[in-house]
Amino acid sequence: METNLFDMKDTDIAWCPGCGNFAILAALKGALTELGIQPEKLVVVSGIGQAAKAPHYYQCNLFNGLHGRSLPAATAIKAANLELTVIDESGDGCMYGEGGNHFVHAIRRNPDITNLVHNNMVYALTKGQASPTSQRGFKTPVQTDGVFLESFNPLALAISLGASFVARAFAGDIEETKGIIKRAILHKGYSLVDILQPCVTYNKMNTYKWFKENVFYLEESYNPFDRMEAFRKAVGEAKLPLGIFYINPKPTFDESLNVYRENKDPLHRRTPDIEKLSQLIDSKRGIYRK
């Protein structure tokens, strides 16, 4: 097996044999290597779940925070230091369920981060309950009559909010997934990559076989700058399209912050201007000065 900078020694990987997470891990490590990113300049933020454990298995700075709360932390990390490459990697339950409100507002805020969502349409770590993306009729020990809630469509939501970059990949195709992740990391602004992934233990409905029969790549001629077309692709297809749905170049959150207008230094290199603060305090004397 090929080795790279991001390999870790002696990891005790907590995933089931055959899990789609292994393929996503391989695709991501390949993408990072090909982009020449240095592990010490990379920060990966994750939440809780089987997918959220992924960054423990490759070399990076890691902020493995709370379930559903990774996006606010990732947003702040990037905003505090523009020199870092920030990836937010977690599962469908973390990002679309517990973190749903943060997902909506991260898209609006548009920080320059890459959001990789391992989407296996099931809660695996808690042993098989429905997730927001579970499909209708999916039976679980809790949803005993099958899921009857509308399935959450992250791509349609992101496009409707004017997200900066929206894509879908399939873990069964490591090469294409790697390519999409590379494009997402290179994109300036918030980029969403929803990665379809079978759960071999808890999702007997959306299996490798099912995915292979139900996904297809957007054609070469597809124009990702057309928002209405992107929305149609996200909601209107019988099968699930893969590829880059939508690109909407716009100013990022970080570059809009006035702290970086004249000075790109990370915040940790700065100290308060005590002279200026003394003047501000002085101004509270009113108009008369000594």
Partner 1 sequence: MRGRPMNGRSLVNLREDVAIVLCGAAGQGVQTVEHILTQTLKLSGYNVFSTEEYMSRIRGGSNSTLIRVSSKRVSAYVDRIDLLIPFSPGAVTHVRKRISPQTVLLGEKKVFGSEYHSDKAIDVPLSEIASQVGGPIYSNTVAVGLITGLFRVEGDILKDYLRHHFSGKDDPTIRKNIDAAQRGYAVGRNLLDTGKLQIEVQKNARLKDEIIIDGVEALAMGAIAGGCNFVPFYPMSPSTGVATFLAQHSKEFGIVVEQAEDEISAMNMVIGAWYAGARAMASTSGGGFALMVEGLSLAGMLESPAVIHIGQRPGPATGLPTRTEQGDLLFALYAGHGEFPRAIFAPGTIEDTFYLTQKAFNLADKYQIPVFILTDQYLLESHYNIPSLDPSQVKLEKHIIETEEGYKRYQLTEDGISLRGIPGFGKGRVVLDSDEHDEEGHITENLELRTQMVQKRLRKLEQVKGEILPPELIGSPNYKTLIIGWGSNYHVIKEVIERLGRKDVAFLYFKQVYPLHPESAVYLQKAKRRVIVENNATSQLGALIRLETGYEMDHKILKYNGSPFSIEELEENLKWVLR
Return residues touching partner 1 (CB under 8 A): 39-41, 43, 45, 48, 53, 56, 59-66, 69, 71-81, 83-84, 101-102, 104-105, 109, 257-259, 261, 263, 266-274, 276-278, 280-282, 284-290
Our CB check for partner 1 shows the closer of 127 and 264 to be 264
Residue 190: other Cβ atoms inside 10 A:
31
Q: Which two tokens stand for residue 154?
A: 């992250």
Minimum CB–partner distance for residue 47 and partner 1 (Å): 9
Q: How far apart are CA 93 and CA 67, in angstroms?
A: 9
Unique residue bearing structure tokens 């308060």 = 272
Q: Which two tokens stand for residue 40?
A: 């010490």
Quick check: 160 and 103 in contact, CB under 8 A? no
What is the residue-wise DSSP string for 203-217?
-SSS-HHHHHHHEEE
What is the residue-wise DSSP string for 12-80?
---SPTT-HHHHHHHHHHHHHHHTT--GGGEEEEE-SSTGGGGGGGSSSEEEE--TT-HHHHHHHHHHH
Task: Give the 3-state secondary structure of residue 6.
Answer: coil
Q: How far apart are CA 78 and CA 55, in angstroms?
A: 17
Minimum CB–partner distance for residue 250 and partner 1 (Å): 17
Our CB check for partner 1 shows the closer of 221 and 263 to be 263
Our CB check for partner 1 shows the closer of 75 and 252 to be 75
Partnered with residue 247 across adjacent β-strands are 165
Minimum CB–partner distance for residue 197 and partner 1 (Å): 21
Residue 212: other Cβ atoms inside 10 A:
12
Our CB check for partner 1 shows the closer of 1 and 280 to be 280
Minimum CB–partner distance for residue 279 and partner 1 (Å): 9
Task: Give the 3-state secondary structure of residue 118.
Answer: strand
Minimum CB–partner distance for residue 165 and partner 1 (Å): 21
Our CB check for partner 1 shows the closer of 60 and 169 to be 60
Minimum CB–partner distance for residue 112 and partner 1 (Å): 13
Minimum CB–partner distance for residue 129 and partner 1 (Å): 21
Can you say whether the dihedral through the CA atoms of 5, 193, 171, 175 is positive or negative? negative
Our CB check for partner 1 shows the closer of 136 and 270 to be 270
Our CB check for partner 1 shows the closer of 238 and 280 to be 280
Minimum CB–partner distance for residue 40 and partner 1 (Å): 6
**Torsions phi, psi for 197 (to 5 deg):** -155, 130
Our CB check for partner 1 shows the closer of 74 and 184 to be 74
